[in-house]
């Protein structure tokens, strides 16, 4: 009887072990089958989402599970996270200044998806980046920008999209408001974590100038040829700048009150320092840019007064006070075009 009792007790113990293992296996398989949502989540039902690339999710073993659900069955492959230093960088570049036609551009860069969307196929990018370009009537500059930038961004192994935010009509140009709009509109399409605000007439001369966001806001256009490759002043934040999603939300984005040329970048610099951030930069021999020739807009005569009183408006003037009408959103081959009509916001003046 003693042997039989021990035998039955042993079977009962193993039965519970097998049962627990079976339950854990079912949970694991269900987790694997619940794929992450598509690369772009379209909050606008009227827009056809053409950004649905292969889904990627990071596993605990620092690799990536890639799920293609376009078939009737599940295909799962593993790809590594991209290296911290992209292996195909070339350093100092020749900047191309002969603009291809739009037809020629459309035949280039076949790896880029509609909307100017790209991410590497052989590894999972470390950076989800939206390039935001405030724009109006700069056709040649835009073609040159796309011609030069896409190869650089692809070599940097970024998960990126290019957004051109065009101000419609003949109202005074408001660069900062367009950048705020680009931030808002890009997030409607994808969970970008890094935002590069970029003048269309600046082209990088070195691909080691990585288009990513570090812990602190980064001023990227440190050395521009028209300024003898020297930084004009210590607090400058104009030209090309990189800010995380969290940083944009904390400082309430750019001010919407700077109509015409000048002031908005210095106001953003002031905001960042007010909220405890420090502006970071690459070395001048890497953060080099060539500026395309252009006619500057009429300066804003009230910009210094706006700058002086800016600190009283940080919480009421910015992303949370945007007033605009989106006239169209078009997924071009090499960029996403957002055409908007602006309104002057009504904000509290503080003191």
Look at the alpha carbons of 164, 166, 172, 176 in this order and tell me if their dihedral is positive or negative: negative
In this predicted structure, what is the pLDDT of residue 301?
76
Alpha-helical segments (H) within the chain: 2-33, 102-106, 139-155, 175-189, 245-251, 264-274, 303-308
Which of 295, 284, 175 has its CA nearest to residue 224? 284
Distance CA 163, CA 187 (A): 11
How many CB atoms lie under 10 A from the CB of residue 314? Answer: 17
Distance CA 70, CA 97 (A): 41
In this predicted structure, what is the pLDDT of residue 3?
56
Q: Locate 23 and state its tokens.
A: 């339950």
Which of 131, 186, 182, 132 has its CA nearest to residue 160? 131
pLDDT, mean of each 10-residue run, the chain (351 residues): 55 53 48 37 48 41 38 55 96 95 94 96 96 96 98 98 96 94 98 98 98 98 96 95 98 93 91 96 97 78 78 92 96 98 64 34
Please tell me the chain's helix, strand, coil percentages from 3-state DSSP, rounded to the nearest 5. Answer: 30, 25, 50
Q: Locate 112 and state its tokens.
A: 């880029």
Distance CA 199, CA 203 (A): 9
Q: Locate 83 and state its tokens.
A: 């290296």
DSSP 107-130: TS-TTSBTTTEE--SSSB-S-EEE
In this predicted structure, what is the pLDDT of residue 312?
85
Q: Locate 185 and state its tokens.
A: 């509109």
Burial class of residue 148 in the structure, from the number of CB atoms within 10 Å of its CB (0-12 exposed, 13-18 middle, 19+ buried): buried
> pTM higher than 0.85, yes or no?
no
Phi, psi of 68 (to 5 degrees): -105, 105
Distance CA 232, CA 23 (A): 65
Q: Locate 64 and state its tokens.
A: 């990536």
Q: How far is CA 244 from CA 17, 217, 251, 273, 316, in A?
A: 48, 7, 11, 15, 20
Inter-residue contact 160 to 131 (CB < 8 Å): yes
Q: How far is CA 181 from CA 6, 78, 127, 215, 256, in A?
A: 73, 36, 21, 23, 10
In this predicted structure, what is the pLDDT of residue 295?
73
């Amino acid at each position: 009887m003693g042997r039989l009792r021990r035998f039955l007790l042993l079977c009962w113990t193993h039965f519970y072990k097998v049962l627990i293992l079976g339950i854990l296996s079912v949970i694991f398989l269900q987790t694997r089958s619940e794929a992450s949502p598509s690369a772009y989540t379209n909050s606008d039902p009227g827009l056809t989402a053409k950004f649905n690339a292969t889904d990627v999710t990071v596993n605990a073993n620092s690799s990536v599970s890639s799920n293609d659900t376009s078939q009737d069955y599940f295909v799962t492959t593993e790809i590594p996270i991209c290296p911290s230093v992209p292996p195909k960088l070339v350093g100092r570049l020749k900047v191309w200044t002969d603009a291809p036609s739009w037809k020629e551009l459309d035949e280039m860069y076949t790896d880029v998806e509609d909307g100017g969307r790209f991410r590497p196929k052989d590894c999972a990018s470390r950076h989800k980046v939206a390039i935001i370009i405030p724009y109006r009537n700069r056709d040649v500059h835009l073609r040159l920008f796309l011609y030069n930038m896409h190869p650089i961004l692809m070599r940097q192994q970024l998960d990126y999209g290019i957004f051109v935010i065009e101000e419609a009509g003949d109202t005074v140009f408001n660069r900062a408001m367009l950048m705020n709009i680009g931030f808002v509109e890009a997030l409607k399409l994808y969970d970008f974590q890094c935002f590069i605000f970029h003048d269309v007439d600046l082209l990088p001369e070195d691909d080691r100038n990585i288009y990513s966001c570090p812990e602190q806001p980064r001023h990227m256009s440190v050395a521009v040829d028209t300024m003898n490759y020297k930084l004009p002043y210590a607090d400058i934040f104009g030209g090309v700048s990189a800010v995380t999603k969290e940083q944009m939300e904390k400082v309430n984005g750019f001010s919407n009150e700077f109509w015409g040329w000048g002031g908005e970048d210095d106001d953003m610099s002031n905001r960042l320092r007010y909220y405890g951030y420090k502006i970071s930069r690459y070395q001048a021999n890497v953060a080099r840019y060539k500026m395309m020739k252009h006619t500057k807009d009429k300066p804003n005569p009230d910009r210094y007064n706006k700058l002086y009183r800016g600190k009283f408006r940080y919480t009421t003037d910015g992303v949370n006070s945007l007033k605009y009408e989106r006239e169209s959103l078009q997924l071009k081959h090499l960029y996403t075009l957002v055409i908007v009509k602006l309104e002057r916001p009504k904000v509290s003046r503080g003191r």
